[in-house]
Structure 1
Amino acid sequence: MREISIEELAAGINRKKAELGYSGTDYVARNSGKYRTESKRALLRSLTELAAKKGRPPKFKANY
């Protein structure tokens, strides 16, 4: 097995994201959320509402 540094791993991940058309951390996964359970949808909504109450955007974008 070949060992790689965390920097090499990060570079590889960034290359793959670029190949897929993602940039930085500002992207939404291709998952549409179509098959997400209602409990997961409720959790995502509550996290979004909590962030809004604190006056900041959620740390992630989610399809629900």
Structure 2
Amino acid sequence: MREITIEELAARISRKRAELGLSDTGDVQPNSGRRRTESKRALLRNIARAAAERGEEPTFKANY
């Protein structure tokens, strides 16, 4: 097995991400929420409501 440095690994990952057309953020597909339980949907609604009351956006996009 050939050892590589963390810098070499980071460079390989960067090249592969560029080949795939991925950016540094937002390249993870969001969960559709189709199979989410009602309790989880309520939790996500409450998080969004609390953030809105503070005048903020929730820290993540949630489908519910």
Task: Please give the root-mean-square deviation of Cα atoms over the aligned residues, in Å.
Answer: 3.4
Between the two proteins, the alignment pairs up a number of residues equal to 60
Counterpart amino acid of 1:35?
Answer: R
TM-score (norm 2): 0.61
Match of 1:59 in 2: 59
Task: Determine if contact 1:28/1:61 at 8 Å carries over to the other structure.
Answer: no
Please state how far the C-alpha of 1:23 moved relative to its aligned partner: 3.9
Counterpart amino acid of 1:37?
Answer: T
Match of 1:41 in 2: 41
Please state how far the C-alpha of 1:58 moved relative to its aligned partner: 0.6
Q: SS in structure 1 opposite 2:51?
A: helix
Instruction: Flag the 1:22–1:55 CA change in 2: closer, same or farther, 3 A.
Output: farther
Show CA shifts across 1:20-41 (max 9, x none): x654444673421010000000
TM-score (norm 1): 0.61
Identity of aligned residues (%): 48
Considering only CA atoms, is the larger Rg found in Structure 1 or Structure 2?
2
- In the alignment, structure 2 segments of 5+ residues that lack a partner are none
